[in-house]
Amino acid sequence: MILFDFFRIAHIIAGFLAAFIFWIPIVVKKGGRLHTIIGWIYVYAMLIVALSAFYMGFYRIFIDEESDKAFSWFLVYIALLSTASAWYGLRVLRYKKRKTVNQRLDDLGFSILLFLSSIGISIYGFIINFALLSYFPFVGLFLSVSQLIYWLRKPKIKGHWYIEHLIGMLSCCIATITAFLVFGAPRLLNIESVSIILWFAPTILLTPVIIGFSVHYGKKFNRKAA
């Protein structure tokens, strides 16, 4: 239990840090020094969050017989979703000048794993009649398919990497806030559960932001190119 408590404390500290600073790179000058520094702090904080979530989730699933298995599987899934989104957001910067398809396994692997996990977790959710597990994986399913399409197609618009970077990191933000609402908020407020509508609120509220950024920067880059 000492190791579990260590990961739990690390998870809480890193999670609060990520939730506190995630908005800064969104509002400051893109590509600037502050954007880069805060962005990397967020990435490393999310790495700690994901690793600790994987450990705690699998511990509760396979060792702690009294734990809620459904929520433990969601903890593992949301960790995978945030990891895949952050990895994607970073890797598109690495290949911003690419002219051909990208078939590297280290880039496709997370997207494929997210795709398969989304299907598996959703099926499990319907079997046990748990709405959060049944429907939330559709977010991961959509993201994984869009990531695979991006990697396996030649870029067609200017600034494609910029747009995909925003999508990846904002998707990671959705996972961060959702995890807090599912696990953190009920414990802080000392309540047993919150409305499922609140669980889906980050997705509902941030999806238009993602679409708005994508449209705005798509027009901006291609207007410059024209």
The residue among 139, 111, 116, 121 whose CA lies nearest residue 199 is 139
- The domain limits of the chain are 2-97+158-225
- Written as six digits, the tokens of 83 are 């990891």
The residue among 85, 25, 78 whose CA lies nearest residue 50 is 78
Q: What is the mean pLDDT of residues 104-132?
A: 95
Q: Which residues contact 206 (CB under 8 A, 6 or more apart)?
A: 170, 173, 174, 177
Alpha-carbon gap, residue 12 to 15, rounded angstroms: 5
Tell me how crowded residue 201 is: count the other CB atoms within 10 A of its CB: 16
In the block, which residue shows the tokens 């994508």? 214
Write the pLDDT tens digit of every residue in 123-182: 999 999 998 899 999 999 999 999 999 999 998 888 888 889 999 999 998 888 888 888
